[in-house]
Amino acid sequence: MKGERAYLRRFSVLLLIALAGCATKSPSLLDAKGPAERTASSIWWPMVWVATAVTVFVVVMGAYGVVRGRRIREEDIRRDVPWGDRFILIAGLGVSGAILIGFFVFSLARAATLARAQPGLEITVIGHDWWWEIRYPNGAVTANEIHIPAGQRVNISLTSVDVIHSLWVPQLGPKIDLIPGRTTHAWLKADQPGEYRGQCAEYCGLQHAHMAFFVIADPPNDFVTWMANTANPATPPSSALAMQGQNVFLSNTCIGCHAIKGTPANATLGPDLTHMATRTTLGAGTIPLNANTLAAWIRNPGQFKPGVTMPPTTLTSQELNALVTYLLSLGFPAR
């Protein structure tokens, strides 16, 4: 009794912890915020209900068999269930086969409606270990934040420069792989303006878990402004400190990996930093972006993201301070 009670207590604690997980604000694929995810849910729900019905039926029949089996003798069983063999054929092969084939055809048909091409804004998303590059048709390039116009369809061409990644925004649609050397296609549409968290859904190495991103659905007019601003060159340094920071950036290894439009920096190994101060996180959703975290990140990115390609720096505190000031000035020009 004592052991059982201890077990029960431990079990309730675990259950509470598990349920507490449900209460957090992590995005749920059951909370669809766009038509692609609603189509995916329309495949999922019928499967859940039929699977539940089958499970209940099997459990009830199993329990019935156990209860009856205790009451009757072995030889009664054959006489009692003369259609036993036929029942196994019908239920085991016929009914199961019909359900499985039915769902196969049903999900293919639903998936086909999901895959149907339709016009929309065309953007490109490129997977990197471990961040996302996003390119717009007007030349705008950004990282880890996919801006889209709310209520409008956006077609995405996806590829990867290294290993297979997978783009997944649980509230907006199913997962799509990014495959090196190939282009895959997906589309996103959010009913309402808002921020929708996404995550790499294909194991891609040490920092797979730190390969998050955000889909930011802007009101359509704001989106047009955002895309135009993002395509513009960077704001020139407006203070002596920022000017010094730009020199630090251009005369150190930063320039070997990053681009800042409007300066000689045009490398594409790391995220484009032309308007980096407009973004909210560092390291693809790993830490929030502010002056302190940015300085700590540049000093040694590996302390937040072990294995990251960006090396630690040997800048002096003064140079680092100037660099951070410069990078955080890279917003949109005030209107």
Q: Which stretch binds ligand CUA (CB under 6 A): 72-80, 90-98, 199-207, 308-316?
A: 199-207
Is residue 184 a contact partner of residue 158, using CB atoms and an 8 Å limit?
A: yes
Burial class of residue 326, CB neighbours in 10 A (0-12, 13-18, 19+): buried
Beta carbon nearer to ligand CUA, 202 or 272 = 202
Beta carbon nearer to ligand CUA, 163 or 296 = 163
Tell me the Cα Rg of the chain. 27
**Per-residue x/- track, 48-67, ligand CUA (CB under 6 A):** --------------------
Beta carbon nearer to ligand CUA, 162 or 222 = 162
Three-state secondary structure call for residue 158? strand
Q: Is 87 in the site for ligand CUA (CB under 6 A)?
A: no
Report the residue from 126, 143, 154, 200 that binds ligand CUA according to the rule CB under 6 A: 200
* Secondary structure letter of residue 22 according to DSSP: H
Rounded to a whole number of angstroms, the minimum distance from the CB of residue 173 to ligand CUA is 17
Site for ligand CUA in 205-244 (CB under 6 A): 208, 211
Report the residue from 204, 260, 308, 310 that binds ligand CUA according to the rule CB under 6 A: 204
Site for ligand CUA in 124-153 (CB under 6 A): 127, 130
Q: How far apart are CA 129 and CA 211, in angstroms?
A: 8
Q: Which stretch binds ligand CUA (CB under 6 A): 115-123, 203-211, 233-241, 295-303?
A: 203-211
Q: Return the axis-axis angle of helices 240-251 and 317-327, rounded to nearest 10°.
A: 100
Question: Distances from the Cα of 50 to the Cαs of 43, 44, 45, 59, in angstroms?
Answer: 11, 10, 9, 14
How, if at all, do strands 141-143 and 145-149 pair?
A: unpaired
Name the maximum alpha-carbon separation found in the chain.
98
- Residues in the interface with ligand CUA (CB under 6 A) total 9
Rounded to a whole number of angstroms, the minimum distance from the CB of residue 154 to ligand CUA is 21
Beta carbon nearer to ligand CUA, 131 or 187 = 131
Report the residue from 147, 165, 275, 305 that binds ligand CUA according to the rule CB under 6 A: 165
Site for ligand CUA in 108-127 (CB under 6 A): 127
Report the residue from 45, 49, 57, 203 that binds ligand CUA according to the rule CB under 6 A: 203
Rounded to a whole number of angstroms, the minimum distance from the CB of residue 211 to ligand CUA is 4
Report the residue from 133, 202, 272, 319 that binds ligand CUA according to the rule CB under 6 A: 202
Could you tell me where the DSSP H helices lie in the chain?
2-23, 35-71, 74-80, 84-87, 96-115, 220-231, 240-251, 291-299, 317-327
Cβ contacts of residue 157 below 8 Å, gap of 6+?
122, 123, 124, 125, 183, 184, 185
Rounded to a whole number of angstroms, the minimum distance from the CB of residue 203 to ligand CUA is 6
Query: Which helix (DSSP H) or strand (DSSP E) does residue 131 occupy?
Result: strand 131-135
- List interacting residues with ligand CUA (CB under 6 A): 127, 130, 165, 200, 202-204, 208, 211
